[in-house]
Structure 1
Amino acid sequence: MPDAKPTTFGDLQPSKWPGERLGLPESGRGSVGRVGRRIAALLIDWASAMLLALLFTPYDSVAYNFVTPLVFVVLQIVFIPTIGGSIGHRLLGMAVVPLEGGWIGIRRPVVRSLLLIIVVPALVWDSDQRGFHDKVAGTVLIRSR
């Protein structure tokens, strides 16, 4: 049966570009945000969290090591539903959107951010360049411009 539809993940044909299976364009606005932009946005977001954490704890204290990730998560949870992405995402022309469309809500940014902070899910990607944290949250990081 050559016309049979694939039934398992191993039977799926490789994507021609990241986001093809999600119905996203190959490049430009609406395409999957690529690795370089993602890493740069993460660095911007982490630096912002480090600076804001200094308002609460001195840099050389043990508490600073716990406050910085907490500030990072709070920034993600606040900005993803309100401005469509973190400060880093928006500065680099990206947005976090739910796969089924509509407003992203609060649950998705919470799940995504808590998984992101433990790092490993962000290192596990699928062929659409979506990290495990995005897959679990039902989101995708796309180019907004």
Structure 2
Amino acid sequence: MPHSPQPQRFGDLEPSEWPGERLGLPAEGPRSVGRIGRRTLAILLDWGIAGVIAALVAGGDPHPFLPLGIFALMQIVFIPTIGGSLGHRVFGLRVVPISGGWVGIWRPLVRTLLLVLVIPVLVWDSDQRGFHDKIAGTVLIRW
């Protein structure tokens, strides 16, 4: 009787040699997974821009959630139109769907909703994809 393979269990995967290996992405250079340094700088720039816009709109004393709303709006508008937020683009990053093609509208909406919750961003896999990217089916790559 032939031996049937056991179903794969969580944790059975061999570790990746580099982030993005399982996704078919190169170890470094263009189309490689965007690393933590660039990602951190990009989000700090996006938060800074959102804070400045909020202060200008509110006359210097914005409601505490106004910068968050502006940040979310920037993500939702810029990911499908220019491939990433302003911070992403400045630091050579782009949000792309794993399946290829255009990122569409729903992916940025889902990704941004999870991004503003913060905790999903702090949980990532060996491909350095945050939970928000995994759920949205996206990956942040160098461009």
Same structural fold, with TM-score higher than 0.5 when normalized by the shorter chain: yes
Instruction: Give 1:124 deviation, angstroms.
Output: 0.3
Give the match for residue 122 of structure 2: 123
Identity rate, percent: 62
After TM superposition, give the deviation of residue 56 of structure 1 in Å.
2.3
- TM-score, with length taken from structure 1: 0.92
Quick check: 2:55–2:61 contact (8 Å CA) kept in 1? no
Measured in 1, the distance between the counterparts of 2:129 and 2:46 equals 19
- Residues 17 and 5 of structure 1, relative CA distance in 2, 3 Å threshold: farther
Amino acid at match of 2:19: P
Alpha carbons 1:79, 1:85 under 8 Å: kept = yes
Contact 1:6/1:12 (8 A) holds in 2: no
Q: Distance in 1 between matches of 2:40 and 2:60?
A: 24
Letter in 2 for 1:16: E
Residue 112 of structure 1 is matched in structure 2 by 111
The equivalent residue for 1:82 is 81
Please, which moves more after superposition, 66-75 or 9-18?
9-18
Q: Distance in 1 between matches of 2:24 and 2:111?
A: 22
- Residue aligned with 1:11, SS: coil
* CA positional deviation for 1:5: 8.0
Are 1:91 and 2:87 matched, yes or no? no
Is contact 2:96-2:141 (8 Å) kept?
yes
Cα separation, 2, equivalents of 1:111 and 1:120: 14
* CA shift digits 1:1-43 (9 cap, x unpaired): xxx5871232111100000001100000000000000000000
Assess, with a 3 A threshold, how the Cα gap between structure 1 residues 134 and 67 changes in structure 2: closer, same or farther: same
How far, CA to CA, are the matches of 1:114 and 1:121 in structure 2? Answer: 10
Is residue 45 from structure 1 mapped to residue 46 from structure 2 by the alignment? yes
Give 5+ residue unaligned stretches, structure 2: none
Report the CA distance shift for 1:94/1:6 in structure 2 as closer, same or farther (over 3 A): farther
Q: How does 1:1-145 map onto structure 2 within 5 Å?
A: 7-61=8-62, 63=63, 65-144=64-143
4+ runs of 1 displaced by more than 4 Å?
Answer: none
CA contact (8 A) 1:76 1:86 kept: yes
Structure 2 length-normalised TM: 0.93
**Distance in 2 separating the partners of 1:104 and 1:55:** 31
Task: Name the SS for the 1:113 alignment partner.
Answer: helix
